Structure 1
Amino acid sequence: MKRFDAIRPFYDTEINEGILKIVDHPMMKALMNFCFPKVEDEVWKDQLKKTHSIRDFQCNFIYFGVKQVLEKSSEGLTTSGFEKLDNNTPYLYISNHRDIVLDTTFLNASLFEHGKLMTSSAIGDNLVKKPFLRMLAKLNRNFLVQRGLAPRELLVSSKLLSHYIAQLLVHENRSVWIAQREGRTKDGNDETNPAVLKMIGMGSDEQNLMDYFRKIKVVPVSISYEYDPTDALKMPQLMAENNNEIYIKEKNEDIMTLLSGIIGQKKRIHIHIGDILETEIDDIKANYDTSNKQIQALAQVIDDSILSSYKLWPTNYIAYDILHKTSRHQHLYTENEKSLFERRLEMRIDHCNPFALQSFLAMYANPVVNKLKYENVI
């Protein structure tokens, strides 16, 4: 298994050694003080030093951090669809992507609470360049997706990644989380990139690709936030793309976005587990004769699941009505909710910039537009 050493998380036998290397790090102190605000440092340090598995680290430490995030920056997390999952079966969760770390963190906390297998989760190596963050990722069962590679290196990296995902799902009985596309959704349009599915398919040992996707039990997941705490931070990239400019991130931009996502107000959050894709994959296999067509069809099935089950909030309906100059959904929000949203819009967006204003509204409105494709009446 040395072939995966460059991207894999720690094995349980390596956990304690890894913890001992960073237990006195200032960022570990900050993290633990956040997780356990009323606990003396020596108490959590003593418990950390006795930790010898990823599960113990996640359940005894990270989980309490999640509860603090929810308590301090949200009005609660709700879930649906978890009853479809078997407690001891690994699944490939393919999810829409709104927040750098919280999407998968909230999913894992929910899986833990429902008694299901937690995931090994993909994370871009650009997000963990600092040694402490890389150690923390490896302690939290993250595996690395290598970014910014030349085409030939990218192919080699994709093959390695696909075989590692297969190793987890098929041989280690470990669920996997991966985003439906590289990077977070910036404009509110959640869409599966077929290239992600092609990469996953590289790990197939089946003659027909759809037999492999059926075997690894694909489960679409939709996550929605009433307020996106990083909404305004997404504007510069959207504006650059609108001007046909190459967007170059500021130094430490990813870290600032990560922290903003954690501490910023989210109000309500919902995670929905879609149906395990079985009959849908059988239909794709029966009706499409090439792997490219099958991949395109599978991407569409995943989109259909995520978009149709996406939980809409008053903020989505308010943005839709403002953007489209209509009162179509006014029965789904209060005047107070509308005033709060307009106040947020006023504070976070330059109203002298029509594109920024429209893009901000579209970010919240597009999930309504997408859901209208699946429902005659909302």
Structure 2
Amino acid sequence: MKQNVFDPIRSFRDEEVHSYLSKIIDEPLFHEALAYQFGKEKVPYWLDKITTFQSIHELQQELLLPLLENLLRESVEKLTYSGTEALHKNTSYLYISNHRDILMDSFILNYILFIEGFDTIESAIGNNLFVMPWIEHLARLNKSFVVKRNLEGKALYEASLILSLYMKDTLFRRQQSLWIAQQEGRSKNGDDFTQPSLIKMLLMASDKGEESNLLNQYHIVPVSVSYEYDPCDVYKCWDAYQKSIGKSFEKTNNMRLNEMKEGLIEFKGKVHFSVTHPMIFLFQEFKMREAIQHVATAIDNEIQSHYIIYPFHWYCYDKSNYSDRYYNEYAGKENDFETRINHQLQKIEKFFTQTNEEDIMRSYLYGFYANIVKNYLAKTKSASCLNF
């Protein structure tokens, strides 16, 4: 394939499937993943089958879709979704969502669109997650494109421009829908807001004066992601707590692998994806900086107003606010919820050998889910009814 500026970040193509799968099937961790999902006795069958795949579609249909369906059966009590009826199959969309899980957010959205008869989407993934080469290979075979992280200055500008041009080319020329998170990395405190830098990046591919036209041609669709339980909530809270006291820690590759694994296989309870509607933007009355913030805020409004608030979330909101205001939403489930929180807190001791910060981390966990409720109440009309 001819080398071009997009090659370091683009998703792989059909003609590359055999070459990269031949490398992946020799990886012990890939064997473990197959054994976990299909049983050890089925691993030789799958390794043989994988070598016959000739296209991205075949790989997704024959292997990755069954893998995801197994994960959903084992880790999700009930998956629901809404809003896909407003989409058109001959239109390419840019889906922007809040970011709860490293892998499952885009996997589940892809699954929902697939079962509704849409083509699978390309998904953004940070290169900080490529702790092993085969993970990058499999991600890009699964129609992921790479967002380069931890850059500064000229390198950041150049990477952002290439990413912007790639997304424009993919949406317009290749007519391929995309997904990207509203902020870099997952929200560490449940407070979901769109980074203005994301909108700035998207606009780098625009001609001067054509910014609103470009965004409207992208058919931006906010997607609101709601998990009853976030398997990795305590790790996010630990990160937020460390930053609050002026400390930071560099995640090891094992930590990243563990979070990816737990996000895939651990119990999430009920999960809902609300696909909203394509947005229309008018910039004429705004200066560019104001316009960018206007777009980010509009996306936030759609995402936050379409959350599904589960009983556990109401419970955490009350605990965080020293209140029993929403007691009827979770009455009788308090002990179960505290058992779940205690289970999560044990992970901190396991990974960070901390034993004296349980109360602090408990409050951070309450706050994580409380922020989801806070933003929902602030953005919905029902808030005025609930606050009398």
Give the TM-score of the pair, scaled to structure 2. 0.91
Matched, 1:318 2:323: no
In structure 2, how many angstroms separate the alpha carbons of the residues matched to 1:230 and 1:208? 41
SS in 1 for 2:385: coil
Residue aligning to 1:287: 285
Shift of 1:38: 8.1
Q: Which moved more, 1:157-166 or 1:72-81?
A: 72-81
Shift of 1:168: 0.5
Matched, 1:274 2:276: yes
Report if the CA contact (8 A) 1:35-1:62 is conserved.
no
Residue aligning to 1:10: 12
In structure 1, how many angstroms separate the alpha carbons of the residues matched to 2:180 and 2:151? 19
In structure 2, how many angstroms separate the alpha carbons of the residues matched to 1:205 and 1:58? 36
Equivalent position to 2:306, from 305, 309, 322: 309
Q: Which moved more, 1:249-258 or 1:66-75?
A: 249-258
What is the identity, as a one-letter code, of the residue corresponding to 1:377?
Answer: C
In structure 2, how many angstroms separate the alpha carbons of the residues matched to 1:137 and 1:84? 29
In structure 2, how many angstroms separate the alpha carbons of the residues matched to 1:377 and 1:274? 23
Shift of 1:348: 3.1
In structure 2, how many angstroms separate the alpha carbons of the residues matched to 1:6 and 1:322? 47
Report if the CA contact (8 A) 1:101-1:258 is conserved.
yes
Shift of 1:239: 1.3
Matched, 1:173 2:175: yes
Residue aligning to 1:346: 342
Deviations 1:278-304 (A, max 9, x none): 2xx13xx2431x221111000000000
Equivalent position to 1:356, from 361, 365, 387: 361
SS in 1 for 2:96: strand
Residue aligning to 1:210: 212
1:47-126 matches, cutoff 5 A: 47-126=49-128
What is the identity, as a one-letter code, of the residue corresponding to 1:364?
Answer: Y
Residue aligning to 1:227: 229
What is the identity, as a one-letter code, of the residue corresponding to 1:136?
Answer: L
Change in Cα spacing, 1:38 to 1:110, as seen in structure 2 (3 Å) is farther
Residue aligning to 2:349: none
1:137-176 matches, cutoff 5 A: 137-176=139-178
Report if the CA contact (8 A) 2:131-2:253 is conserved.
no
Report if the CA contact (8 A) 1:79-1:272 is conserved.
yes
Shift of 1:208: 2.2
Q: Which moved more, 1:204-213 or 1:162-171?
A: 204-213
SS in 2 for 1:219: strand
Residue aligning to 2:326: 329
Deviations 1:241-262 (A, max 9, x none): 1112234223422111111111
Change in Cα spacing, 1:163 to 1:276, as seen in structure 2 (3 Å) is same
Change in Cα spacing, 1:248 to 1:43, as seen in structure 2 (3 Å) is closer
What is the identity, as a one-letter code, of the residue corresponding to 1:341?
Answer: F
What is the identity, as a one-letter code, of the residue corresponding to 2:329?
Answer: L
Residue aligning to 2:258: 256
In structure 1, how many angstroms separate the alpha carbons of the residues matched to 2:113 and 2:291? 30
SS in 1 for 2:252: coil
Residue aligning to 2:199: 197
Shift of 1:313: 0.8
Residue aligning to 2:351: none
Shift of 1:351: 8.1
In structure 1, how many angstroms separate the alpha carbons of the residues matched to 2:24 and 2:90? 32
Change in Cα spacing, 1:16 to 1:352, as seen in structure 2 (3 Å) is closer
In structure 2, how many angstroms separate the alpha carbons of the residues matched to 1:236 and 1:257? 13
Report if the CA contact (8 A) 1:217-1:276 is conserved.
yes
| Overall identity of the aligned pairs, in % | 33
Shift of 1:74: 1.8
Residue aligning to 1:23: 25
Deviations 1:7-33 (A, max 9, x none): 112111111221122223323322333
Structure 1: gaps (5+ residues)? none
In structure 2, how many angstroms separate the alpha carbons of the residues matched to 1:371 and 1:263? 28
In structure 2, how many angstroms separate the alpha carbons of the residues matched to 1:59 and 1:90? 21
Shift of 1:206: 6.4
In structure 2, how many angstroms separate the alpha carbons of the residues matched to 1:351 and 1:68? 38
Give the TM-score of the pair, scaled to structure 1. 0.93
In structure 2, how many angstroms separate the alpha carbons of the residues matched to 1:43 and 1:213? 46
Q: Which moved more, 1:269-278 or 1:37-46?
A: 37-46
Shift of 1:196: 0.8
In structure 2, how many angstroms separate the alpha carbons of the residues matched to 1:188 and 1:197? 21
In structure 2, how many angstroms separate the alpha carbons of the residues matched to 1:249 and 1:24? 26
Shift of 1:158: 0.5
SS in 1 for 2:222: strand
Deviations 1:65-110 (A, max 9, x none): 1111111122021111111111121100011001101100111011
What is the identity, as a one-letter code, of the residue corresponding to 1:90?
Answer: S
RMSD value, Cα: 1.8
Change in Cα spacing, 1:36 to 1:333, as seen in structure 2 (3 Å) is same
In structure 2, how many angstroms separate the alpha carbons of the residues matched to 1:91 and 1:158? 20
